[in-house]
């Protein structure tokens, strides 16, 4: 671990797993599409791709992607969240670890897609964003995709204010050797516009 507490842990005390899972169960029961992130990623993938769900939480996205035929590894630093993932999908790979030290986990690199959904990036520990993006980029194969979804204002975050701008995030990606490919306002592909408060971004690790 980096020694610094991530913002998610500051908010939840590391005890939010069951309540987080109940929240999504309620949304699904009331008819909401809770698979937007997985559907978005699946549309970018060829069959049986390797996916790293970075900050996988309760595993809700990696479980859906596995149902769609992909090989998913989930990493999260919150054991209460991972406990839900392990219970719901015991046969899948779930690793307790800090994304700022992803290389410590000994993962086989060459993932086709690395996902950081559900505000993982803004909820990292302060000062670790560029390091984490570098670690996520290093896990990709040449030509692989980094997919992120993040709030950019208080209305789209569980925080009083956004800890980063989209320009800062793009700088971290450029510093990690990633190229911007597409950006949307939602997981269902609404057009992105500055000031909209949310960004779904796809960056690629150049091939060759
Ligand atoms: C709001 S939850 C989103 C979980 C999941 N991606 C989803 O969309 O349901 C944010 C997650 O990021 C994780 N996280 C934050 N900083 C992390 C870090 N440095 N390493 C690993 N996971 C981290 C938290 O533990 C938490 O599970």
- Write out pLDDT tens, residues 73-99: 999 999 999 999 999 999 999 999 999
Is the pLDDT at 3 greater than 90? The verdict is no
Is the pLDDT at 1 greater than 70? The verdict is no
Q: Are 102 and 120 contacting, i.e. CB atoms less than 8 angstroms apart?
A: no
Q: What is the pLDDT of residue 208?
A: 75
| Ligand 1 cavity residues, CB under 6 Å | 6, 8, 55-57, 60-61, 75-78, 81, 98-100, 117-120, 123-124
Q: What is the pLDDT of residue 4?
A: 78
Instruction: Calculate the alpha carbon distances from 160 to 5, 152, 156, 169 in Å.
Output: 17, 11, 10, 19
3-state class (DSSP) for residue 76: strand
Query: Which residues on adjacent β-strands are paired with residue 198?
Result: 151
Decide: residue 117, CB within 10 A, 0-12 exposed, 13-18 middle, 19+ buried.
buried
Distance 117 CA to ligand 1 centre (A): 8
Q: Are 114 and 136 contacting, i.e. CB atoms less than 8 angstroms apart?
A: yes
DSSP-assigned letter for residue 180 = E
Decide: residue 62, CB within 10 A, 0-12 exposed, 13-18 middle, 19+ buried.
buried
Q: How far apart are CA 172 and CA 168, in angstroms?
A: 6
CATH topology of domain 7-204: Rossmann fold (3.40.50)
User: Looking up tokens 């980029």, which residue turns up?
Assistant: 137
Mean of pLDDT values over 56-67: 98
Distance 96 CA to ligand 1 centre (A): 11
Share of the chain above pLDDT 70, in %: 99
Output the pTM of the full model.
0.97
User: Over the stretch 166-205, which tens digit does the pLDDT of each residue have?
Assistant: 999 999 999 999 999 999 999 999 999 999 999 999 999 9
Is the pLDDT at 44 greater than 50? The verdict is yes
Share of the chain above pLDDT 90, in %: 98
Is the pLDDT at 45 greater than 90? The verdict is yes
What lies within 8 Å, CB to CB, of 176 at 6+ separation is 130, 133, 134, 136, 137, 138
Measured from the Cα of 116, ligand 1's closest atom is 6
């Amino acid at each position: 671990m980096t020694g610094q507490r991530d913002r998610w842990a500051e908010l939840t005390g590391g005890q939010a797993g069951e309540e987080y899972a109940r929240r999504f169960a309620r949304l699904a029961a009331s008819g909401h599409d809770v698979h937007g992130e997985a559907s978005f990623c699946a549309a970018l993938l060829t069959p049986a791709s390797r996916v790293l769900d970075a900050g996988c939480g309760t595993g809700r996205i990696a479980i859906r992607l596995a149902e769609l035929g992909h090989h998913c590894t989930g990493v999260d630093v919150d054991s209460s969240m991972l406990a839900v993932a392990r219970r719901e999908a015991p046969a899948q790979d779930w690793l307790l670890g800090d994304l700022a030290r992803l290389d410590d986990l000994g993962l086989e690199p060459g993932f086709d897609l690395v996902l950081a959904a559900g505000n993982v990036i803004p909820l990292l520990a302060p000062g670790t964003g560029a390091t984490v993006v570098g670690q996520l980029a290093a896990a990709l194969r040449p030509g692989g995709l980094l997919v992120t979804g993040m709030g950019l204002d208080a209305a789209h975050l569980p925080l009083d204010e956004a800890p980063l701008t989209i320009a800062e995030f793009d700088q971290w990606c450029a510093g990690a050797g990633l190229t911007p490919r597409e950006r949307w306002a939602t997981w269902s592909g609404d057009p992105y516009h500055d000031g909209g408060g949310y960004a779904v971004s796809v960056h690629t690790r150049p091939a060759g």
